[in-house]
Amino acid sequence: MIDIKLIRENKELVKENIKKKFQNQKLPLVDEVYDLDIEFRNIKVNADNLKAEKNKISDSIGSLMREGKKDEAMALKEKISKMNSEIDELTEKEENLSKLIKEKMMSIPNIIADDVPIGEDDSKNVEEKRFGDPYVPDYDIPYHSDIMASFDGLDKDSAGRVTGNGFYYLMGDIARLHSAVLTYARDFMIDKGFTYCIPPYMIRSEAVDGVMSFEEKANMMYKIEGEDLYLIGTSEHSMIAKFKDQIIKESDLPITMTSYSPCFRKEVGAHGIEERGIYRIHQFEKQEMVVLCKKEDSDMWYDKMWNYSVELFRTLDIPVRKLVCCSGDLADLKYRSCDIEAWSPRQQKYFEVCSCSNLTDAQARRLAIRYKKENGEKEFVHTLNNTVIAPPRMLIALLENNYQKDGSIKIPKVLQPYMGGIEIIKPKNK
């Protein structure tokens, strides 16, 4: 949520930002908020003036009573009673307007960075840099689910009978490799100075509304029937919400955390959810990184975070590239974002494995997360998040880039300690 001062002082800037995001249907919201804010402030001034006048009259009643002017005192008491009714009415209007303004403000997108490429969808995202040389072997690499099946490592049929489409069982060496990747990613981030955390996997609606836009909520979140609880789509949700309504000491910033969780997503509108592979699914596990910091440090942390992703994937000998997200591909709360994409030698193209975002103070405003400066002033923190590792997508990249001609999988050196020292795994039929 942006600062309402932007609409008061420069609503054309807010409108131009909406146009850059190709959300022209939201343009009327700016004028609506502007007019409602004027009405809200006028009502507040009237209410405050009435309260001040009431206090003065209340002070004089005691004097009148002591002077024996009972009739005058009673008249003033009657006047105060009427003023109280008027104040209550104004207060109710003030509260209703405040809620309406906030509801509309939460649909207005965050101001994007000046250097974000302008484009209507992800087809206009811009490749910035590659890391590692893409390699295509002189032998065929099977589809990832076929690789897993050769190890008796994937069972979607049973999952389909038990749960439905978009779910899976991982087994044997493939399941162990999946866990090894997550554990390695955890230790990688701990070594970078991040605090490890396992968060709640469900959050209340007010936390959901604080961390994401209404559109994302509708398309992603599973609601628990009969309860005010949602399954998280990523641990960022509960990690940021952990600080809801808190005032953080300036000396405690930055707060850097890495968190593990399962993730649950409806994937509304997703194509290929029923495909035989596990690229797009309803449940997966992820290691996440989250940072809360001061405004002046958020761009620095953004660069650090996406670079951590590159470094991690390169330790696994997986070529990656950085793709800068264009304006139309940014969720409403994002100031800037980039995807780290891994090389697929089978498809001979890159695919998304990490997403790094700077949300400036948009989440913090919704959740009332501030920090107290040494001079006593309070300011909203900036929040950032990035994927560390998200199997099974990352697992697909790992399998393809380490697939050998005989069907075996070479285990990268950094993962071998997490695999009991195994250097290679072989399919069951070899």
111 occurs within a structural domain: no
Q: CB of 97 within 8 A of CB of 89? A: no
Contacts of 188 (CB under 8 A, 6+ apart): 308, 312, 315, 388
Using 50, 70 and 90 to split pLDDT, how confident is the model at 274?
Answer: very low
Amino acid 298: pLDDT? 97
Looking at this protein, which amino acid is placed at residue 153?
G
Same domain, 139 and 96: no
Which is more confidently placed, 185 or 83?
185
Same domain, 85 and 22: yes
Same domain, 94 and 225: no
Using 50, 70 and 90 to split pLDDT, how confident is the model at 276?
Answer: low
Q: 105, 139, 171 — which closes off a domain?
A: 105
Same domain, 18 and 141: no
The answer on pLDDT for 62 being more than 70 is no
Query: Within 13 A of 8's CA, how many CA atoms are on the CB side?
Result: 10
112 occurs within a structural domain: no
Same domain, 302 and 200: yes
Q: CB of 349 within 8 A of CB of 336? A: no
Using 50, 70 and 90 to split pLDDT, how confident is the model at 77?
Answer: confident
Which is more confidently placed, 288 or 57?
288
Q: Which of 182, 181, 179, 159 is nearest to 169 (CA)?
A: 159
Domain residues for the domain of 348 are 122-425
Angle between helices 172-191 and 393-401 (to 10 degrees): 100
Contacts of 397 (CB under 8 A, 6+ apart): 313, 318, 342, 343, 344, 351, 353
Q: Helices (H) and strands (E) in the chain — how many of each?
A: 12, 18
Same domain, 94 and 135: no
pLDDT digits (tens, 9 = 90+) for 315-337: 999 999 999 999 999 999 999 99
> What's the CA gap between 13 and 202, in Å, rounded?
37
Same domain, 58 and 202: no
Quick one: what percent of the chain has pLDDT higher than 90? 80
The answer on pLDDT for 61 being more than 80 is no
223 occurs within a structural domain: yes
68 occurs within a structural domain: yes
Looking at this protein, which amino acid is placed at residue 38?
I
Same domain, 95 and 132: no
Using 50, 70 and 90 to split pLDDT, how confident is the model at 273?
Answer: very low
The answer on pLDDT for 123 being more than 60 is yes
Q: What is the CATH number of the domain that holds 176?
A: 3.30.930.10
Structural domains in the chain (count): 2
The mean pLDDT of 150-171, rounded to a whole number, is: 92
The answer on pLDDT for 55 being more than 80 is no
293 occurs within a structural domain: yes
Q: Which of 1, 32, 83, 15 is nearest to 334 (CA)?
A: 1
Same domain, 201 and 291: yes
Same domain, 75 and 23: yes
Question: Tokens at residue 348, please?
Answer: 């001979």
Q: Omega of the bond prior to 392 within 30 degrees of 0, cis? A: yes
253 occurs within a structural domain: yes
The answer on pLDDT for 222 being more than 80 is yes
**180-203: buried (b, 16+ CB within 10 Å) or exposed (e) per residue?**
bbbbbbbbbbeebebeebebbbbb
Q: 54, 76, 105 — which closes off a domain?
A: 105
Quick one: what percent of the chain has pLDDT higher than 70? 96
419 occurs within a structural domain: yes
Report DSSP letters for 11-47, one per residue: HHHHHHHHHHTT-GGGHHHHHHHHHHHHHHHHHHHHH
SS3 state at 389: strand
Looking at this protein, which amino acid is placed at residue 76?
L
pLDDT digits (tens, 9 = 90+) for 375-417: 999 999 999 999 999 988 899 999 999 999 999 999 999 999 9
143 occurs within a structural domain: yes
Which range has the worst mean pLDDT, 63-77, 113-127, 179-193, 276-290?
63-77
**345-374: buried (b, 16+ CB within 10 Å) or exposed (e) per residue?**
bbeeebebbbbbbbbbbbbbbbbebbbeee
Greatest Cα-to-Cα distance within the chain, rounded to the nearest angstrom: 107
Amino acid 268: pLDDT? 54
Q: What is the CATH number of the domain that holds 97?
A: 1.10.287.40
The answer on pLDDT for 271 being more than 70 is no
The answer on pLDDT for 272 being more than 50 is no
pLDDT digits (tens, 9 = 90+) for 280-302: 888 999 999 999 999 999 999 99
Same domain, 86 and 170: no
The mean pLDDT of the chain is: 92
Same domain, 211 and 326: yes
The mean pLDDT of 207-226, rounded to a whole number, is: 88
